[in-house]
Structure 1
């Protein structure tokens, strides 16, 4: 029990008694601004906590009910486990109650309790009629089966029964995970004299500890945790599900906006284009149209953007479809996040739904392949989603970030794919790379096709350079990963890698005209020995076009027949003989000069000096003054 943390929130029309209800439950006053006290309504988010009959301590967020403060209401709803829908018994469901209900539905708040407040103002008969009316109006909402509790927050009637109902409902709620990266949408930012900047929010995942390095996103502003408070008590750690106040080091209040997110650095994706499953509310008065400007709410963030519909001309009230949101400012988002859309003007809630992921580009409309990918993201089996993420090789850390699952769940999914032979596992230094078997096969087939076409067009080049192949394949991976994947494919014999070249496994015969020219060069060089000819002059005399000549020489070098030393080409056999003669000479004479080498090899000084320097580079000989000795 102790490690499970929950957050209860309120919703409802202005002046229906939400703040008074929280005061009755917790004994804490959540109206903290002078304006709030003077006007009798909540403007900003208020926070409290209470102890349930079991001894469990839970957080409470009091959100504003007035129409002008719906943005704050949506910020407060982020992270709620249970919502208390507060309805005044003397007034019933009002316009703002309906909008709050729609927002809670769009945000996917799973459970709630209807609190019929101010029972002290009406008689029993009226209460029965009001409860029947409320139950009827809540049909087809997330509260259609919710329990109804009658209370008078002012007099304390029914409060204990409400606490017991909350306790029972919490038993059904799955607690947020304290594993994985930290993620906390920021709903308040302020400064405390002597301490500096403090941010508050509900910790959605991970654990925050004193001294921990975190980041403010968007913007990747690095900071460290100076101190922590949970329920007004100093703590060394805070875990997912708790309301947390974090004192951050080295930050000014002006650097942090509400709507930012406190996260583990370099983990979450930030972008200005999001893939969405979008629902237009049935209560909306008009369709959502292509490129319509809207207010996009995600967690505590509000950003302006335009809707880019992918599978429909327009989204009529009650309809659902795939879309992208093209935002004016970047946001941090993850697959599965819930969002709300409101009209730009007037600011009325019109729709919302689920984020399917951060996108790198704007997609074409009505393209079947795009829509199919959206369906996989939206409804796909967990294994299909994982397989999509490993369409290119990734390590487990990258997959944990992209899928937002814990390690046990990831290992389980990877194990299932491995059993079904749907994943390849490549060793890479101290980690492993996971690659969809289907994607890997298609990628290698494409690689072989590219290299084969290159070999057919360039028969003398003995394969394609790694870098040119990387460009042709459009690989964007880090270079180390590219080299690892390439070499692992060669180990499995899909193709050959030799030095900087990649070749197919087929040794195709050279065209006859090229093969004859090569034979002519070989015959000519048989007589050259250690006094080689000028290669380009000989090539021209044999009918080899000047623009192609160097490729013939390179071919003979790459096949190991020739060696290129200084500006000259030699038969490898002649150089090996020269090396043997040099070693035999030095064993009996200890040292050799240029003139002696020239006589030993039967060549001129023009060729003897480069040859001696070549053997120096191989550490066969070592130059001392004008002489060479064995190294």
Structure 2
């Protein structure tokens, strides 16, 4: 069964709380001041048994404009709205403001309840209905039922319940295949149990013993216990009002507006990119750097406005805006928000979050409007491609699931189709879009072509050097994975830490061959290490040939000292002989055996240390493997 949250809305003293009592038998005014003043100040919560097999959560909101902040804390997660209007007074200021907010927040279903219907005659009642129809035109309540009731005698209540029951059947199943998110709207402590938070479970499934986090501080806790509709349970589902008993959490750790989730990677940000729709009849337009109040879930955050299409977002218009927040917030793309001016307090608009953790940008940021338009209107595959392209190159699938906010299985199915259609390529479990791969391959091929032209005697460029030459910012492990993939496709060749174009081989013309023979002849016929500038000069061709010979017939002992590889192998055998016989070898031992100077022997032994053949122990060398 789909779980449903029912919420009230309407002007002060129009009978919202009395209506809830008529439906449920519960007075949701729990505060002493509420009882004293006879008005609702904060949110009220109860459950409503619609029929023997169906129970819904109910949220009763305050109607006074002074407590609109509390009303806004309750609307997130509401499915069905009971817009409560007194038949005596008809539409009043908070009726209209509540209706505006509900439209902006994306509510789709509701019923208009005409309370105190016993206080007016039929003719007046019809006039109020006509006026209501005019006010709700073009809203989500345009075609809603209007049910007159008397909450005291309960006339009309049974009809209202039947209409609510019918409406609950029209909802799509809630999203259960994502990490749970609960908007905290109430916090209290129970002696012997500790801290309890309550809220609407917006999505997912929450279980006893789940590891959870309180955002935006990301405080870790564990679910000790759960209650739904005042009954203990081991599991709670999206669309339910839930009380959560948390382990190791004090009342100081949590506040109204926090988000409870098992997702350990929920984004936390000081900026939001949003699409805002402005109300028509507000006092002024929204201008650059206006200070506003942002309402998300049960939270109020102050922010500055940066319009991204023009410096002003006019009344009745829609546009893209970046919000620069004054404190951190945790949210997801497609979440709804409401905006009010900081002062005077006035609801001015609302909309949806398009990027929950954006880069800082302004009206002058290149293509920002096009990018946000794609986020708003694009298909899932469009948004997957955009998100991958906005990242590095290779993106983990879990990152996509986290940031897109859609159902995980839906995203995975779309990725599977995109892989089949070759819109995406999988590289070592990471994803890259085909266009991005083509671009990076082009850059790598261009760099290698230049490298082979400049250094024709080298086997290739080092992986690290090549990684830093391309415009895509890849971590070393990501770059290694990409190089392995390109090697498997015969695009590049790899040898140890070097990368070359596929099929590249070092080739010598007559001039290069003569230089090679000259250098080899020198160190084959000389028994001591040499410095290039003392033998062949420092021409680029000579240095490149030396670089080519290193590891083949030449060993680099230090930055400017080279030696014949065969002689190095000979001296390595001599060192091994001493180590096998005596367990150690000194420079003096080798000087007697080789007739090389101390300077050269030190360079040779330091080379043996570097390749982990020996290691120094005081004035002697011992085997590297010796303890």
Q: Same fold (TM over 0.5)?
A: yes
Does the C-alpha gap of structure 1 residues 614 and 82 become closer, same or farther in structure 2, counting only changes over 3 Å?
same
Q: CA RMSD in A?
A: 3.5
State the shift of 1:370 in Å: 1.4
Q: 2:246 aligns with which of 245, 248, 271?
A: 248
On the 8 A contact 1:282/1:318 being kept in 2, the answer is: yes
Give the match's secondary structure for 1:52: strand
Q: 1:496 aligns with which of 493, 496, 517?
A: 493
Q: Does 1:485 align with 2:477?
A: no
Residue 424 of structure 1 corresponds to which residue in structure 2? 425
State the shift of 1:446 in Å: 2.6
> C-alpha distance in 2, partners of 1:312/1:167?
46
> C-alpha distance in 2, partners of 1:137/1:617?
84
On the 8 A contact 1:220/1:265 being kept in 2, the answer is: no
Residue 171 of structure 2 corresponds to which residue in structure 1? 173
State the shift of 1:114 in Å: 0.7
> C-alpha distance in 1, partners of 2:509/2:139?
76
Residue 437 of structure 2 corresponds to which residue in structure 1? 440
Q: 1:107 aligns with which of 105, 108, 112?
A: 105
> C-alpha distance in 2, partners of 1:270/1:32?
34
Q: Does 1:344 align with 2:342?
A: yes
State the shift of 1:322 in Å: 1.1
Q: Does 1:532 align with 2:504?
A: no
Give the match's secondary structure for 2:550: helix
> C-alpha distance in 2, partners of 1:252/1:578?
70
State the shift of 1:434 in Å: 1.7
| Residues 350-406 of structure 1: per-residue CA shift (max 9 Å, x gap) | 011110012342213144511111111010011111112223322222222111233
> C-alpha distance in 2, partners of 1:92/1:335?
37
State the shift of 1:591 in Å: 13
Residue 563 of structure 1 corresponds to which residue in structure 2? 555
State the shift of 1:412 in Å: 1.4
| Residues 29-77 of structure 1: per-residue CA shift (max 9 Å, x gap) | 1100011111111111110111113521110000111101111111111
State the shift of 1:312 in Å: 1.7
Q: 1:187 aligns with which of 177, 185, 188?
A: 185
State the shift of 1:103 in Å: 0.5
Structure 1 length normalisation: TM-score? Answer: 0.87
Residue 307 of structure 1 corresponds to which residue in structure 2? 305
Residue 544 of structure 1 corresponds to which residue in structure 2? 538
When structure 1 is superposed on structure 2, of 472-481 and 23-32 the one drifting more is: 472-481
| Residues 282-317 of structure 1: per-residue CA shift (max 9 Å, x gap) | 222321111111101111111111111111231111
When structure 1 is superposed on structure 2, of 589-598 and 564-573 the one drifting more is: 589-598
Structure 2: give runs of 5+ residues left out of the alignment: none
Q: Within 5 A, what are the aligned runs for 1:40-439?
A: 40-53=38-51, 55-391=53-389, 392-427=393-428, 432-439=429-436
> C-alpha distance in 2, partners of 1:121/1:627?
105
| Residues 561-588 of structure 1: per-residue CA shift (max 9 Å, x gap) | 32235785334456568889999x99xx
> C-alpha distance in 2, partners of 1:101/1:472?
56
> C-alpha distance in 2, partners of 1:23/1:260?
29
Does the C-alpha gap of structure 1 residues 261 and 527 become closer, same or farther in structure 2, counting only changes over 3 Å?
same
When structure 1 is superposed on structure 2, of 324-333 and 404-413 the one drifting more is: 404-413
> C-alpha distance in 2, partners of 1:40/1:288?
37
Structure 2 length normalisation: TM-score? Answer: 0.88
